[in-house]
Amino acid sequence: MSLQETAPDVIQDLLQPIENGSFRFACHPGVSCFTECCRDLRLLLTPYDILRMKTRLGLATDAFIEKYGEVHLDEKRCLPMIHLRMEENERKTCPFVSSEGCAIYEDRPSACRIYPVARASRMHPLHGTLVESYFLLKETHCRGFEEAKEWSVEKWLLDQGLEPYHELNNLWMELITDKGLQKKGRLSEKQQQMFYMVCYDSERFRKFVLSTRFLTLFEIDAAEKQAAIMDDTGLLRLGMKWLSFSLLNKPYLKLRRTDT
Ligand code: SF4
Ligand code: SF4
């Protein structure tokens, strides 16, 4: 699924190839447009974005979503999706923008981190491996492109701390862009609730995992079990496997054999 197929028209028109694999860019309080881009955004939050932000703010996930999220169902499959809610002021500013910049900078969402690079990812239909491509999103108001600092895509991704985001976001993207899920049509209400709990309610999902036969029903090795119990990202990884197993019959989890 290419970005040029799925991104809104307004974004597609701004996408440019990255000539010779490098680009010039810098964003800092000295640019005349500083924080201009932190307003009036339709910013999709991934499950890992939400984990990072709610932890940063010391909130439970449901409290974070109630305060900062806008939940809606995507039209084709009824998948619950969450956007960051902008403030209800004239400029529709991001709730985290301040005169000094982003107040949650170290835990800002993936979309903010990667800008001005745009990333398209898809699974190779034959090899099942992830194929990635990168573009520049050149918005006319952004003066960062006039700065001298030169980047390769690899250096940019490293500098912006995107590695853990890509790892967790890839698992999610693999699930939500799966052709089988698209063919399946709309999720039932029960499936929507399951998707929501795994992706956006780590506290409730952990309770579910610990209070049901979940951990004995499947063959899960000790390290993975421990990570899911102790750590939100471990739990999210396990949850993605469970969703792929349950919604798409993917063999990412194996039912434990019971001797009769
Ligand atoms: S518009 Fe560009 S340069 Fe200006 S603050 Fe946003 S990212 Fe930085
Ligand atoms: S989260 Fe931070 S970087 Fe992203 S739009 Fe809001 S203030 Fe800007």
Residue 10's pLDDT is what?
A: 63
- How is 107-146 classified by DSSP, letter by letter? G--HHHHHTTEEEEEEE-TTT--EEEEEEEE--TT-GGGG
Give the closest ligand to the alpha carbon of residue 29. 1
Same domain? 85 vs 203: no
- The residue contributing the CA closest to ligand 2 atom 2 is 102
Domain limits at 170? Answer: 3-176
The pLDDT-based confidence of 3 (bands split at 50, 70, 90) is very low
Give the global pTM: 0.92
Do residues 165 and 48 lie in contact, with contact meaning Cβ atoms separated by under 8 Å? yes
Ligand 2, residues at Cβ distance < 6 Å: 38, 41, 94, 96-97, 102, 108-109, 112
Same domain? 151 vs 232: no
Residue 46 in any domain: the answer is yes
Same domain? 121 vs 149: yes
Predicted confidence (pLDDT) per residue in 31-65, tens digit: 999 999 999 999 999 999 999 999 999 999 999 99
Distance from residue 142's CA to the centre of ligand 1 (Å) = 5
Give the lowest-confidence range in 5-19, 29-43, 143-157, 220-234.
5-19
Same domain? 23 vs 139: yes
Same domain? 13 vs 130: yes
Q: Give Cα 179 distance to the centre of its chain.
A: 19
Q: Is any atom of ligand 1 closer than 6 Å to the C-beta of 142?
A: yes
| Tokens representing residue 14 in the block | 């701004």
Same domain? 122 vs 193: no
Q: Is any atom of ligand 1 closer than 6 Å to the C-beta of 33?
A: yes
Same domain? 155 vs 238: no
Distance from residue 34's CA to the centre of ligand 2 (Å) = 11
Same domain? 119 vs 130: yes
Q: Which of 114, 149, 176 is the last residue of a domain?
A: 176
Distance from residue 120's CA to the centre of ligand 1 (Å) = 21
Predicted confidence (pLDDT) per residue in 67-88, tens digit: 999 999 998 889 999 999 999 9
Number of domains in the chain: 2
Residue 256 in any domain: the answer is no
Q: Whole-angstrom Cα distance, residue 178 to residue 243?
A: 12
Residue 9's pLDDT is what?
A: 62
Same domain? 28 vs 105: yes
Q: Whole-angstrom Cα distance, residue 153 to residue 140?
A: 21
CA 251, 256, 257, 260 torsion-angle sign: negative
Residue 258 in any domain: the answer is no
Residue 1's pLDDT is what?
A: 40
Predicted confidence (pLDDT) per residue in 140-188, tens digit: 999 999 999 999 999 999 999 999 999 999 999 999 988 888 888 889 9
What's the average model confidence in pLDDT over 224-229?
A: 95
Same domain? 64 vs 89: yes
Q: Which of 176, 202, 221 is the last residue of a domain?
A: 176
Residue 216 in any domain: the answer is yes
Residue 77's pLDDT is what?
A: 87
DSSP state of 175: H
Q: Which of 176, 206, 224 is the last residue of a domain?
A: 176
